[in-house]
Amino acid sequence: MKALVTGGAGFIGGHLTDRLVADGYQVRVLDNLSNQPRPTYDSARYVDFVLGDVRDKDACKYALRGVDVVFHLAALTSVQRSILDPVSCHDVNVTGTLNILMASREARAQRVVLASSSSVYGDSPELPKRETMTPQPVSPYALSKLTGEYYAQQFYQHYALETVSLRYFNVFGAGQNPKCDYAAVIPRFVTAARSGDRPVIFGDGEQTRDFIAVQNVVDATVLAGESRSAPGRTYNIGSGEGLSLNRLVEEIGGIVGRRIQPVYGPPRRGDIRHSVADIEAAERELRWGPRVSVARALEELLGPARMLRAA
């Protein structure tokens, strides 16, 4: 089985690429290295790397040659960046997705697994978030991800291309970049804990997120590429539990052995208040469930901090 991973040089993509290689897939990666100077995966000698951009139709066609299944993870992933630059967000997340779907159809690929986002639910007070809820995107990023899902559905309905959309919740783990302007909350908090700095929380810290370890996300993504029941479906991929940012800081402080005092800033545009996934559909149809807890994944991330403190 030959797989293409778009965005395979990045955080989630790198973990997925290593897993696919370990599972015996022939793996090709399409990435423009815009977020990092080199691929993050460890299995480079087993990977056919294509330097290219999903906005480039020819690059997409080239990367799809002989591919059976596509894992489409390439995206601009920041809510805040999408508000500042909605055009780039649309070009990558919508046009890029359409290019991949078109190239997959032309190459006669069997399946495309699309990385979508929990942000499509918006700020509805209803919890947990179920796939049957009406999406209410409140940022260009969320809208772009929802549009990608709709395009995937169209290709499934009209062109017999097997498509699956996975609504990732707040993914974290090793290899996440804490230094970019739009870094996710956990790598920023972990970096602050290691350095002794005070992490910044935008808002009062009582907003909740459904954090999920990247290992669990990779498990679900691989299953979505293989499951007979997955085509045409959309699944939430989260832990099924909400955690406030204040509680997250306390958890990290407990691991490093000191109390961490965050700095509170004004809420950011496009941020939602509460988010937690209903994962029953993925559990039932993909035979998937989180095997790595948030607590365990945090301890793995902060292991070096504990060692430094002991020294």
Catalytic residue ranges: 141
Of the candidates 50, 71, 70, the residue with the CA atom closest to the CA atom of residue 62: 50
Question: Are 74 and 54 within 8 A, CB to CB?
Answer: yes
Instruction: Count CB-CB contacts under 10 A for residue 255.
Output: 18
Using a 10 angstrom Cβ sphere, with 0-12 exposed, 13-18 middle and 19 or more buried, the burial of residue 171 is buried
Question: Are 224 and 237 within 8 A, CB to CB?
Answer: no
Q: Which helix (H) or strand (E) holds 145?
A: helix 140-159
Six-digit token string for 3:
């797989």
- Cβ neighbors of 8 (< 8 A, separation 6 or more) are 14, 16, 17, 27, 29, 30, 31, 39, 41, 47, 71, 73
Q: Where are the extended beta strands (E) located within 52-193?
A: 69-72, 111-117, 162-168, 170-172
Of the candidates 194, 114, 111, the residue with the CA atom closest to the CA atom of residue 150: 114
Please provide residue 172's backbone torsions phi and psi, each rounded to the nearest 5 degrees: -145, 160
